[in-house]
Structure 1
Amino acid sequence: MTALVMALYAEGRTDEGFLPVVIQRTAEQVLAHRGNTVVDVLEPIVLNHTIDLQFRARDERILEAARRASGFHALIVHADADYPTPVRALQERFLPGQTRVDQARVARELSVCDHLVPIIPIQTTEAWMLADHAALCEVIGANLTAEALGIPAHPHQVESDPDPKRTLNSVIQRALAQRPRRRRRIDPRSVYEPLARQINLARLSSVPAYAQFMADLTQTLIALHLVV
């Protein structure tokens, strides 16, 4: 059996709780639908912990992540758009790093990962976490409608939220208000990983930025001859 080995360079520690599982599940889904062989998809290895301390410029950080991911099938590079479209983040926070990696590969200066895949949520990753109301309610222990929680009923609308992180925190607080007083404390970070395991990828695929990531990942899997 082939094992798909990926790495993730993410922007923040909270992203590390949500994105690896979503990336793994997405790859599994693409392979299940279009794969031409049996593949065991491993959860991506997070590379952040020391890179950000050692390198100041983002293109240098991506290059170092690609060096550490040498021999892996793919390196997923995360950059929140912090903007209504992904264009600026792609141009300023992904492509310069991709260029450095390509240059190093051509010059044979470093052994680097051959395939870089951008993952660029609009605004922040928390927008994706608002896409599946039912999964979110199950994880936080709520029994409220999307309207009562203050989130869009349709997943494609979540990217219009200018501050999804604040919205997610507000949703959690509203859910906690339904609990007995002694059970109203929760660390918002504890929601990220279980929600990543339960969120409905069909609903998430209605979010344009996630759909783009799935398309980019699919192209990489095609290049790796794992899907057709």
Structure 2
Amino acid sequence: MFIAWASIYEGSTDDTYFGTLLPRVLNDLILQNASRRVDVADFPAIKFGRSGKAVEDVAREICEGSEAFDFLFAHADTGGRAQQATATARAMAYANAAADLCGYPVDRCFPILPKKEMEAWALTDASAVCQSLGFAGDFRNLGLPSTPRQAEALADPKLTLRQAIAHVKRRVRPSDPSRLLASIAQIQDLARLRQCASYLQFENALGNQLNADGYFR
């Protein structure tokens, strides 16, 4: 069996992080639950860009390309209270529109909704952040959260990561933000990530669908 997937992200840094993390998550779920071999695509079959496009235009692209992928991942930042209230609707808008247009099965679309911003998930593993930055000191000196729950509770995760990068720049030259986020996603501890309620909700929904589709048999 083989799993192909497609993606919709809000920005290029989200693409870098989630594009690295998602194959790890899928492979981990298969490894932990499947009794037979299931291969997972390392890269999305299609990236649906939404910048400057109407929802209906993206929905049409989903319909045209739907045979190329099994699952669709759609990201939306939750931000403040107003954004959080609409995050699921924003993430699912494209799949819902595709369902109206061509009957696309919306249960194959999974919203990715980190608390506040994507960086909240990236900051759940301080050691992975330090390693990716080339920093060998105490993570607390970078202002990084001690626990995944603290990472998820940050008022501004993006700022926290920027400040950590700025602190390290005084000593070494860290990689650019895109490479940094890809590195974090590649090595961070998924067990720590599961301590974030927003991530666990996403993983549980994905695992339940994989099981329902027979991938765990």
**Is 1:160 aligned with 2:153?**
yes
Whether the aligned pair in 1 keeps the contact of 2:78 and 2:113 (CA below 8 Å) is yes
Residue 65 of structure 1 corresponds to 62
In 2: Cα distance, 1:87 partner to 1:218 partner: 24
1:24 partner amino acid: P
In 1: Cα distance, 2:177 partner to 2:14 partner: 12
**Is 1:220 aligned with 2:209?**
yes
Residue 20 of structure 1 corresponds to 19
Whether the aligned pair in 2 keeps the contact of 1:135 and 1:195 (CA below 8 Å) is yes
- Superposed displacement of residue 71, structure 1: 3.6
Corresponding residue to 1:88 among 86, 90, 93: 86
In 2: Cα distance, 1:220 partner to 1:63 partner: 24
Structure 2 unaligned regions, length at least 5: none
**Is 1:208 aligned with 2:197?**
yes
1:70 aligned counterpart, secondary structure: helix
- Superposed displacement of residue 33, structure 1: 1.1
2:196 partner amino acid: V
Cα–Cα, structure 1 residues 114 and 214, in superposed 2: closer, same or farther, change >3 Å?
closer
- Superposed displacement of residue 101, structure 1: 2.5
In 2: Cα distance, 1:190 partner to 1:127 partner: 17
Residue 10 of structure 2 corresponds to 11
1:35-74 correspondence runs (5 A): 35-45=34-44, 46-49=46-49, 51-53=50-52, 55-57=53-55, 60-62=57-59, 64-65=61-62, 67-74=64-71
1:64 partner amino acid: E
In 2: Cα distance, 1:135 partner to 1:114 partner: 33
- Superposed displacement of residue 60, structure 1: 4.7
Structure 1 unaligned regions, length at least 5: none
Corresponding residue to 1:101 among 84, 98, 102: 98
Whether the aligned pair in 1 keeps the contact of 2:48 and 2:58 (CA below 8 Å) is no
The alignment's TM-score, normalised by the length of structure 2, stands at 0.88
Cα–Cα, structure 1 residues 122 and 114, in superposed 2: closer, same or farther, change >3 Å?
closer
| Cα root mean square deviation, aligned | 2.4
The alignment's TM-score, normalised by the length of structure 1, stands at 0.84
In 1: Cα distance, 2:118 partner to 2:166 partner: 19
Residue 168 of structure 2 corresponds to 175
- Superposed displacement of residue 86, structure 1: 4.7
2:39 partner amino acid: D
Residue 76 of structure 2 corresponds to 79
- Superposed displacement of residue 131, structure 1: 0.7
Identity %: 26
In 2: Cα distance, 1:136 partner to 1:115 partner: 31
Aligned length, in residue pairs: 215
Cα–Cα, structure 1 residues 29 and 86, in superposed 2: closer, same or farther, change >3 Å?
farther
In 2: Cα distance, 1:185 partner to 1:27 partner: 29
- Superposed displacement of residue 81, structure 1: 1.0
For structure 1, which segment, 215-224 or 121-130, has the greater mean C-alpha deviation from structure 2 after superposition?
215-224
Whether the aligned pair in 2 keeps the contact of 1:139 and 1:194 (CA below 8 Å) is yes
**Is 1:194 aligned with 2:183?**
yes
Residue 113 of structure 2 corresponds to 120
In 2: Cα distance, 1:208 partner to 1:136 partner: 20
